[in-house]
Structure 1
Amino acid sequence: MQNAISAVRTHFLWAALFSALANLLFLAPTLYMLQVYDRVVPTRGAATLGFLTLVLMLAYATLALLEYIRSRILVRASVALDRRLARRLIAATLTLQPDDGARRKSRQPIRECDQLRQTLTGPAMFALFDAPWTPIYIVVCGLIHPLIGLMALIGGVMLVALTWASERSTRAPLLQANAAANLSYASQEQTMLGAEAVRALGMRSAMVRRHLAEREDMLAWQASASFAAGGRMTISRFLRNALQSGALGLGALLAIDGQISGGAIFASSFLLGRAVAPVDQLVASWRSVVQARGSYAEIMAWLDGRAELTPQTGLPRPTGRLDVERVSVEDIYSDRMILNNLSFGIAPGEMVAVIGPSGAGKSTLARLVAGAIHCSEGEVRIDGAERSQWDGDALAVHIGYMPQQLSLFAGSIRDNIARFSCREGAEPDRDGRIDADVIAAARQCGVHEMILRLPQGYDTMLGWGGMGLSMGQTQRIALARALFRDPAVLILDEPNAHLDSDGEAQLIAALAQAKARGAAIMVTAHRTGLLGPADRILVLDNGRMRMSGPRDQVLGALAKPRPASMAGAA
């Protein structure tokens, strides 16, 4: 964040410079009034009036140009800030761990970044640049007459106090409103993802009531903040108008007494209005300032601990040796351990099947070994190197992972199998290598012919989650994605859950081919069809290793009936 702010510091300095020039030019109308009322009117100098008017128009044109340039500078600053932060924030959301999510007020830091950028280019930022000139305008008012300067000073202090009171009264409800809004948006997005189930199960009315209740909480906080801000803004506008009119009346009184000229009457009113205008504008836009502060704090929380890493030593392509050493994973929502002190290894060319009842921890183990989540304790090593010693993306190229929730993305079938390797900013496919690797992966799991029968073949576009395909087709595309470019480690979580007998046979053939080329394979399974090619079986129960050994030995032990005494005790 410090690097991002440093990158736009020059923009702010230039914006401050142009603000200074613009505020100096705001003195031109004051001088024009003084000259018109004190020189032109008494002398009936039409030529002088024409010349003064021409100079004023030039001043106004220059002022408009300066404000335009200042606006462009701030827009460029917001774009530069986005370029510095967006990549890191989007990457941070993709590396979010379950225990991190519980501590985040917002799960969309890029939205917080946009809120911060919008404030940089909004009226609040212009008011902040103009506010330092308020004392100068007050001094100029004092030069016209000390009493007018005193009135401007008292009015400015009152408006500053009003701004401080507005901050105190609106900050807490605005932060609460932002948190409630983020919760409401996230909840609606989750419901939209399950819209089919909502309709099929008759849950639409219930979900509408739930989201309306969440919005009521958000609206209550927003209304509380808006009522407080609206009251302060009304008082601010009243004070500003009263001060300008008061300056006009005081100037007239002083002119009657002969202490100032007639032109100074209107000049003092204009100057006083200009002096308090930035403070009044800050009061009016304070809500965006508070939201920007909240967004800044949230962005800092997302970036905390995610500093740029120093380049790591590039390790050679892994051979596929996988070691899981005393790993434990804690459930963040309870005190129980999902996985408890597990240790095992998989050699290159070996397949281990993980079985056990529902809730035993099979999917969590698959996610952990694949690198999707971190363990609370213990280590996962690839070729003897702990995961932190590998560059994450570089290692992921050599790992094939098929999650239980298949997670295909919007895009073509080709892009999904290729893991979006040829999208914008990624490697170009000049020699067709990516296409060849995509087709090879599809052939390996027997899905090539199925893809060719689709309307656009590999270029068939899918919706989020694989919309457009059946569950069995989606699972086979996800398997091809896992096999893309022959990974050294293959982690498959319930890969045959939606396959028919032909699909399961092709899956077993693909596993045999991966074993033959030396891949280390871990498969979780409920159905026994996948146990045939397994070399070893690991049985999980409540996150602990109940049994482990060669396939036939474990299956034989599981098939033996338990003694009656043990069955009775069970």
Structure 2
Amino acid sequence: MFKSLLSDRPGTEPLAAAFRACRTHFVWAAVFSALVNLLYLAPTLYMLQVYDRVVPTGGLTTLGLITAVAVFALACLAILDWLRGRLLLRAGLRLDRMLSSRILARVVDIQARSVGQAPGSQALREFDNVRTAVSGPGALALFDAPWTPLYLGCCFLLHPAIGLLTLVGGLILFTLAWRNERDSRPRLAKAIQSNAAAYAAQESVAGQAEVVRALGMRGSSIARQIDQRRGAVAQQADAQLTGGKYSGAIKFVRLVLQSAALGLAAYLVVKGEMSAGSIIAASVLLSRAVAPVELLVGAWPGLVQARSSWNTLVELFAKTAAQDRSRTALPPPAGRLRLEGVTVRLPDTETAQLRHAVLGLEPGQTLGVIGASGSGKTTLARVIAGALVPTAGDVRLDGAEYGARDGDELARFIGYMPQSPSLFAGSIKDNISRFSSATGLEAAEVDRTAVAAAIAAGAHEMILRLPHGYDTALGPYGAGVSAGQAQRIALARALYGDPCLLVLDEPNSNLDQEGETALMAAILGAATRGAAVVVVAHRAGVLARVDRLLVMRDGAVQLEGPREEVLARLREAPPAMVAAGRA
């Protein structure tokens, strides 16, 4: 049933493997569905026996026996129906275990490649749509649908006229269901897209609530969100109204068919062409024959949404196919950095943010990056840190291109401090240790390494002065500490594990004199132990002790060399270059 959904595109193998791992669940669910649909004939057979054998003869013993058999059959039906539902639920749980972590990893990877435009930015929500469809009523309706011909055949066995009525009614219901699918699909697709955009806008505003309130943007933000939500709700209502129209028509046709089956059966009994027990049996068989169609119509919006979500997941995995490729284990790098013709062009932008950048840095060297706002300094820092994958060119660490190592393995050798501290909800120790305890690292080792990083960053005493020290809990986005404290914690996080490459973007923007002194000591300490250090800064104080300077202008490297030499060339350069190189 799900074979047609499995893509053979490179990178989508984990999706196919996860569904194949659930094959046993689906097979047994299909087997139990077959038995359930066979046992649904029990009430029909029971009615035939009661009206045709018990009532005319007054055979109470026969009534007791067939009643016991019918109850046993219905009990088996209930158990099998419960078991197939449980099997599908287990299949959904297995899919979640096998795919949820992979999906999150793919989202992180593709966001580094396509900032702001990555498909699947809400991939787990899309996956939940698929999982719900697999384990919900929609899947049960799909399993029941193939058994419609069985009931249709029983109707013909009862009487050709009853079979013909059921066939015609089934075709009418199928036509209505097909029209429903054709009319609802584009509306549902638009509603899904609009809902995703509305939710994304709400999350964006919620994440910047303080700025929104401080700038007096609350009313305008709410108005924009309401407009987006109103559009999404209108499109969803349009899809539901379209589906509801067909659902109502299908329910009307089904009820008419049931009444018609009773009337036709009664007519045939009067004519002597059927027994009296066939009157109720005809209605029951017709109901069972058309029931899967009605169930499919009710579940259709969810199935369509699940199919759309599945396509999104396929696209996500196909675009991140490189993540699962096998990699040869490489020795730990010393910190020799090379950029070879690196270019970055972000989506929906006309000009490149970084153009043909070439750079070399040896272990133990410190490099300061300066330039006017918008010159490409932060983009360069993100590329060096591995946070952003370049559009063209290579970034190498000890000769190995960044992609030669798994993302998490590479990050162990790189310490990155972004412009915004970007702390997460959790304790200060968790933030410094990059939440290593969640990966199974021993608590004692996490404690030791986190404290060592805080000491190297000069933040140990500051952290101890907090209410609960390293166990102080931070809220979302690092709420609970000041901007300067957050920046010093972020520096400790960058130094965690003694990385061989340290990338600091505006590391002193919120620091007081004490914090800046600690920052300088941390940079010199990292360089002394052999780490290559890249510092992006506007304030010149932190660049006073760097070995080399790099000047950015309009996304390109304007100057690069020993600090004093670059400063001398800047003093002799035209005013435009001097302005571009001011820290």
Q: TM-score, with normalisation over the residues of structure 1?
A: 0.96
In 1, Cα distance between equivalents of 2:297 and 2:153: 23
In 1, Cα distance between equivalents of 2:408 and 2:370: 29
Alpha-carbon deviation of 1:465?
Answer: 1.6
Contact 1:106–1:182 under 8 Å retained in 2: no
Residue 357 of structure 1 pairs with residue 372 of structure 2: yes
Contact 1:105–1:182 under 8 Å retained in 2: no
Change beyond 3 A, Cα 1:563–1:209: closer
Match of 2:414 in 1: 399
In 1, Cα distance between equivalents of 2:114 and 2:336: 30
Alpha-carbon deviation of 1:100?
Answer: 3.3
Structure 2 unmatched ranges of 5 or more: 1-14
Contact 2:115–2:347 under 8 Å retained in 1: no
Contact 1:106–1:179 under 8 Å retained in 2: no
Match of 1:199 in 2: 213
Residue 170 of structure 1 pairs with residue 184 of structure 2: yes
Contact 1:323–1:346 under 8 Å retained in 2: yes
Q: Which of 484, 497, 501 is 2:513 aligned to? A: 501
Q: Matched residue of 1:443: which SS?
A: helix
Alpha-carbon deviation of 1:101?
Answer: 5.3
Contact 1:97–1:374 under 8 Å retained in 2: no
Aligned residues: 563
* Aligned amino acid, residue 271 of structure 1: L
Q: Which of 437, 445, 468 is 1:433 aligned to? A: 445
Match of 1:381 in 2: 396
Contact 1:106–1:183 under 8 Å retained in 2: no
Change beyond 3 A, Cα 1:433–1:121: closer
Contact 1:536–1:550 under 8 Å retained in 2: yes
Alpha-carbon deviation of 1:280?
Answer: 1.0
In 2, Cα distance between equivalents of 1:71 and 1:109: 25
Residue 523 of structure 1 pairs with residue 538 of structure 2: no
Q: Which of 447, 452, 458 is 2:464 aligned to? A: 452
In 2, Cα distance between equivalents of 1:405 and 1:354: 17
Q: Within 5 A, what are the aligned runs for 1:159-308? A: 159-307=173-321
Q: Matched residue of 1:521: which SS?
A: strand
Change beyond 3 A, Cα 1:310–1:301: closer
Q: Within 5 A, what are the aligned runs for 1:109-188? A: 109-188=123-202
Change beyond 3 A, Cα 1:371–1:101: closer
In 2, Cα distance between equivalents of 1:168 and 1:140: 31
Instruction: Please give the per-residue CA displacement for 1:381-424, whole angstroms capped at 9, x wherever unaligned.
Output: 1011111222221121011110112111111111111111112x
Match of 2:350 in 1: 335
Q: Which of 544, 547, 555 is 1:535 aligned to? A: 547
Contact 1:312–1:389 under 8 Å retained in 2: yes
Q: Which moved more, 1:323-332 or 1:451-460?
A: 323-332
* Aligned amino acid, residue 367 of structure 2: V
* Aligned amino acid, residue 140 of structure 1: C
Instruction: Please give the per-residue CA displacement for 1:302-329, whole angstroms capped at 9, x wherever unaligned.
Output: 1114346343211111111101111111
Alpha-carbon deviation of 1:486?
Answer: 1.1
Alpha-carbon deviation of 1:230?
Answer: 0.5
* Aligned amino acid, residue 256 of structure 2: A
In 2, Cα distance between equivalents of 1:372 and 1:521: 16
In 2, Cα distance between equivalents of 1:396 and 1:105: 24
In 1, Cα distance between equivalents of 2:435 and 2:93: 26
In 1, Cα distance between equivalents of 2:240 and 2:345: 42
Q: Which of 547, 564, 567 is 1:552 aligned to? A: 564
Change beyond 3 A, Cα 1:271–1:124: same
Contact 2:88–2:136 under 8 Å retained in 1: no
* Aligned amino acid, residue 302 of structure 1: L
Contact 1:98–1:332 under 8 Å retained in 2: no
Contact 2:355–2:555 under 8 Å retained in 1: yes
In 2, Cα distance between equivalents of 1:450 and 1:50: 84
Q: Matched residue of 1:304: which SS?
A: helix
Q: Matched residue of 1:262: which SS?
A: coil
Alpha-carbon deviation of 1:104?
Answer: 4.7
Q: Which moved more, 1:95-104 or 1:309-318?
A: 95-104
Aligned Cα root-mean-square deviation (Å): 1.6
Instruction: Please give the per-residue CA displacement for 1:285-304, whole angstroms capped at 9, x wherever unaligned.
Output: 21111111111111111111
Q: Within 5 A, what are the aligned runs for 1:91-106? A: 91-97=105-111, 100=114, 104=118, 106=120
Alpha-carbon deviation of 1:105?
Answer: 5.5
Q: Which of 58, 64, 74 is 1:60 aligned to? A: 74
Match of 1:311 in 2: 326
Instruction: Please give the per-residue CA displacement for 1:105-135, whole angstroms capped at 9, x wherever unaligned.
Output: 6521111111111112222211111111111
Contact 1:320–1:520 under 8 Å retained in 2: yes
* Aligned amino acid, residue 378 of structure 1: G
Instruction: Please give the per-residue CA displacement for 1:521-570, whole angstroms capped at 9, x wherever unaligned.
Output: 11001000011111010110111122222111222333347489x99xxx
Q: Matched residue of 1:343: which SS?
A: strand
* Aligned amino acid, residue 336 of structure 2: R
Alpha-carbon deviation of 1:378?
Answer: 1.1
* Aligned amino acid, residue 131 of structure 1: A
In 1, Cα distance between equivalents of 2:575 and 2:440: 60
Q: Matched residue of 2:261: which SS?
A: helix
Contact 2:375–2:552 under 8 Å retained in 1: yes
* Aligned amino acid, residue 75 of structure 2: A
Alpha-carbon deviation of 1:140?
Answer: 0.5
In 2, Cα distance between equivalents of 1:71 and 1:542: 60
Match of 2:478 in 1: 466
Structure 1 unmatched ranges of 5 or more: none
Contact 1:99–1:332 under 8 Å retained in 2: no
Residue 442 of structure 1 pairs with residue 482 of structure 2: no
Q: Matched residue of 1:176: which SS?
A: helix
Q: TM-score, with normalisation over the residues of structure 2?
A: 0.94
Alpha-carbon deviation of 1:99?
Answer: 5.7
* Aligned amino acid, residue 235 of structure 1: A
Contact 1:101–1:107 under 8 Å retained in 2: no
Q: Matched residue of 1:548: which SS?
A: strand
Match of 2:56 in 1: 42
In 2, Cα distance between equivalents of 1:55 and 1:285: 33
Match of 2:496 in 1: 484
